Chain A
Amino acid sequence: MSKYYLNYLDELESEAIYILREVWAQFENPVILFSGGKDSILVTHLAKKAFYPSKIPFALMHVDTGHNFSETIKFRDDLVESLGVKLIIGSVQDSINKGRVSEEKGKNATRNALQITTLLDAIEENKIDCAIGGGRRDEEKARAKERFFSHRDDFGQWDPRNQRPELWNLLNGKYFEGEHFRAFPISNWTEMDVWNYIKREEIEIPSLYLAHEREVVWRNNSWIPFSEFLKLEEGEEVVTKKIRFRTLGDITITGGIESEADSLEKVALEVSTMRKTERGDRSDDKRSETAMEDRKKQGYF
C-alpha cells in the first residue's frame, strides 16, 4: 500500500535533486567542487540521479593543495572517467609558483587558507558562475547561516548580512558580471544522514573512510597521517594505528580517529554513537572560534 509521504532520506534526496536542477536551469557554467571527500562524492551521486539518463551536465573542479592522499586522487580520476565528465584542476602549487600566494610559516603551517586564492582564480579563469559545494549547515556555526544559493560579490566574498532570503522553494540566482554563486544542495543533511544514505545507496567512497592500518603522528589531539609533507617536531613519533578519517582534506591537517569500523555498516553505527563533532579533528577549524567564518568571508567553500 502506498503511504504517500516520504521518509526523511528520500525527502533530503528530493530537495538536493531539486536544487541541482535549479542550478543547471539558472546558470550558464556551473561546476561541482570536488574534493574527493564523502560530501562531494554524495553531491556527484545526486547529480547523476538528477539528470539521468543524461550525463551529469557539470564539470568537476578540484582545488588541489598538492598535499593529497594518493587514494583520493585515484578515486577522483576513476570517477571522472566512469562519469565521462570534464575535470578542472585548480592547483595551489601553481598559485605559489606564480607568486599569487606564499606558503605559511611555522609548525602548524598548512595550505588550507591558500586554497581560497586558487579557487577564486579558477572560478574567474574558467568563467564559472556557480560552484556547487558539499557544505552542510550542521558542520559549523558559520555554515548554519548559509543559503542554498549563496551570493558572492565580485571579490568572491561572502557577506552574511547581505544574503537573499530564500522562501518556499524559490531560489534567486541572478547576478551581475563578475559575481558568482555557491550552491549547497545538501545543506540540510547531517553527518549521520550522509552515512545512512551512502550505506543505503551503496555509494562507493575512498577506502580512507574505513578503518585501516596507517602510520600516524599524534598532534593537536588527533592522529595526523605521516606523509612526505609532514615535518616532525621534537617529541613526536610515528606509530602505526588502525584508524579511519571522518572528513578528508589536505593530508597535513586531516586527523584520523582510532576505529575498528571497516565497513559502511560499522561506520554508520560508529557515527551514531560519536560524541564529538566531525570537524573536531580538523585543525583548520581549531585555529580560532571564528576560523570558518573568517575564511568564508574571504571566499572559502
Chain B
Amino acid sequence: MEINNNQLLRFTTAGSVDDGKSTLIGRLLYDSKSIFEDQLEAITATSAKKGHEGVDLALFTDGLRDEREQGITIDVAYRYFTTPKRKFIIADTPGHIQYTRNMVTGASTANAALILIDARHGVIEQTKRHSFIASLLNIPHLIVCVNKMDLVDFSESRFNEIIGQFEEFSSKLLMKDVRFIPMSALRGDNVVNRSETMDWYQGGTLLNILETLHISSDINKIDARFPVQTVLRPQSQEHRDYRGYAGRVASGIYRVGDEIAVLPSGFTSIIKSINAGEQEISEAYAPMSISITLEDDIDVSRGDMIVKKNNQPEMEQEFDVMLSWLANEPAKSRAKYIVQHTSKEERAMIKEVVYKMDINSFERDNEDKSLSMNDIARVKIRTTRRLMLDSYRDNRITGSVILIDENTNETVAAGMVV
C-alpha cells in the first residue's frame, strides 16, 4: 500500500488489564486489516486452547514470555499499522507498577493519547492520573474512549454523564483538543466501523478521528532551534573546505541567507547552504535532519545551538522543571546528576524540591521533599554551565531534559522546563 500525502501519527494508549485496552488495540489492528494470517492463526489456536469463544483480540498484544506467565506487561510496546491516509505508531503502555515511568515515556513523543474509560465505572482515579500525565507531557490531542458501552445498554445518557464527570475534573488541566467516543471494542462498535446500535452518536469512529486529526501544527514552527549533533568535515579533495553542522531541526524554519546566532557563544553569521543528504535545499523545517554551512568561519561544536538572531531561547543555569522520577532508587538529597538537554550534557544537582504533585487529586504537597518512583514534582535544578532553554509548553524538544545517575549510568528522571 502506498500512502502519498502522508503523515505519521504517534499515539499512546494507557490503561490496565481490565478496561479493555488490549482488546481495543486488537480490534483496531484487526478491523483495519493490519493482522497477518499467521498471526491470526496463532491467536485463534491460543483462544481455542484457553476455551475462549471466537478469537480473543486481546492476544494480539501479548508480549514476552515473562509477561504472559505473570499476566502483565513489563514495558512500552510499539505497534504499527497503516491506512490509505496515514501511518500510525502505537506506544502501548501498561498500567501497573511502573505506570508513570512507562506512560511518560510513551507520551513524550505522542501526537495523541487514548484514554480508556469503562462505561460501567465512569471516571476513576486512573482516568485522572492518565489525563494528568497527558496534560503534563503536553500531548496535543486527547481521545477519550468510553468503552464497554454494550454493558450499559448503549445508553446515550450514561455517555453524557461520563463526559460531564470528565469535564469536571479536567477543567484544572491544560488540554487543547479533547474528543469523546462511545464504543464497544469487543463488538467493534465505533472503533473502525460505525456502530449501528448507537445511532445517536454523530461523531467519527476512532480510526476516522485518528486519520483526520490536524497534526501539522503540533510542532512549533515559529521559534527556530537547531541543536548541533556533530560537525561534518570531510577534508576530501572535492570538499576541502566543507564544514557542515549536522542536526535535526527541533522547531521552526531555516532558510539560506537567514541571519543566525550560535549559542552559547553568541557569534552571528548567515546560513550559506543547507543539505539534506546529497541534496542541497533552500529551506528546512522541523523535524528534518540536515546539515548547515555558515558564511563565517566560527567555532561551532556538538551541544551548541544555531538559532535566529532575533529569536533566542533563555540561557539559564538555574531553572524549574516538572520532574517525573523514573528509577527504582529514590533521589538522593543534593546528589549530582548529568543533565542531558538536546545534544548537550552538563553536570547538575537538584537544588530544591518545591512541591510534589498528587496526581490523583491534583493537590500540591509542600511538605514531603522525597522523590521516588512514579513521583512527579516541581524542582529547581542548577547546572555547571548555562543551557539554552524554552518552556516545555512552547517546545517539547528544547524544553525537555533527562537526568542520568553518574554512578549507575541509568536514566533516572525526565523533566519539563516550566
- Give which listed residue, B7, B64, B105, contacts A167 with CB less than 8 A: B105
Chain A contacts with B in 141-193, Cβ cutoff 8 A: 141-142, 144-145, 160-161, 163-170, 172, 174-176, 187-188, 190, 192-193
Residues on the B chain within 8 Å of A193, using CB: 87
Binary A-proximity of B63-83 (CB < 8 A = 1, otherwise 0): 111100000001111111010
Residues on the A chain within 8 Å of B176, using CB: none
Binary A-proximity of B101-138 (CB < 8 A = 1, otherwise 0): 11011001100000000000000000000000000000
Residues on the A chain within 8 Å of B221, using CB: 4
A interface, size bucket: 35 or more
Q: Is the CB of B397 within 8 A of A17?
A: no
Is the CB of A229 closer than 8 A to any CB of chain B?
A: no
Pick out which of these stretches binds chain A: B186-194, B285-293, B357-365.
B285-293
Q: Is the CB of B248 within 8 A of A14?
A: yes
In the assembly, what is the distance between CA of A289 and CA of B289, in Å? Answer: 38
Is the CB of A13 closer than 8 A to any CB of chain B?
A: yes
Chain A contacts with B in 255-299, Cβ cutoff 8 A: 268, 272, 274-277, 280, 289-290, 293
- Give which listed residue, B4, B76, B109, B287, contacts A14 with CB less than 8 A: B287
Is the CB of B167 closer than 8 A to any CB of chain A?
A: no
Q: Is the CB of A21 within 8 A of B253?
A: no
Is the CB of A50 closer than 8 A to any CB of chain B?
A: yes
Pick out which of these stretches binds chain B: A51-59, A68-76, A123-131.
A51-59
Given the known interface contacts A172-B411, A280-B38, the answer about A145 and B75 at a Cβ–Cβ threshold of 8 Å is yes
Q: Is the CB of B216 within 8 A of A172?
A: no
Q: Is the CB of A53 within 8 A of B340?
A: no
Is the CB of B402 closer than 8 A to any CB of chain A?
A: yes
Chain B residue with the shortest CB-CB distance to A146: B78
Chain B residue with the shortest CB-CB distance to A5: B216
In the assembly, what is the distance between CA of A165 and CA of B400, in Å? Answer: 14
- Give which listed residue, B3, B101, B233, B414, contacts A54 with CB less than 8 A: B233
Residues on the B chain within 8 Å of A174, using CB: 338, 404, 409
Binary A-proximity of B270-291 (CB < 8 A = 1, otherwise 0): 0000011110000101011101
Residues on the A chain within 8 Å of B63, using CB: 141, 144-145
Given the known interface contacts A4-B285, A163-B75, A293-B65, the answer about A168 and B397 at a Cβ–Cβ threshold of 8 Å is yes
- Give which listed residue, B289, B396, B410, contacts A50 with CB less than 8 A: B289
Residues on the B chain within 8 Å of A175, using CB: 409
Residues on the A chain within 8 Å of B215, using CB: 5
Q: Is the CB of B246 within 8 A of A4?
A: no
Q: Is the CB of A18 within 8 A of B230?
A: no
Residues on the B chain within 8 Å of A5, using CB: 7, 215-216, 219
Is the CB of B326 closer than 8 A to any CB of chain A?
A: yes
A183 to chain B, nearest CB (A): 14
A271 to chain B, nearest CB (A): 9
Q: Is the CB of A25 within 8 A of B343?
A: yes
Chain B contacts with A in 293-344, Cβ cutoff 8 A: 302, 326, 338, 340-341, 343
In the assembly, what is the distance between CA of A266 and CA of B131, in Å? Answer: 46
Q: Can you name 16 extra interface pairs (CB under 8 A) apart from A5-B216, A8-B6?
A: A2-B285, A4-B285, A6-B288, A15-B289, A25-B230, A50-B277, A53-B236, A145-B63, A163-B75, A165-B101, A167-B411, A172-B404, A172-B409, A174-B409, A188-B89, A192-B82
**What residues of chain A have their CB less than 8 Å away from a CB belonging to chain B?**
2-8, 10-15, 17-18, 21-22, 24-25, 48-55, 137-138, 141-142, 144-145, 160-161, 163-170, 172, 174-176, 187-188, 190, 192-193, 196, 268, 272, 274-277, 280, 289-290, 293
A-B contact pairs, 26 of them (CB 8 A): A4-B285, A6-B287, A8-B86, A14-B248, A14-B288, A18-B229, A21-B246, A22-B343, A24-B230, A49-B277, A53-B239, A145-B63, A145-B64, A145-B74, A160-B66, A160-B74, A165-B326, A165-B411, A167-B414, A168-B396, A172-B409, A172-B411, A175-B409, A276-B37, A277-B36, A293-B64
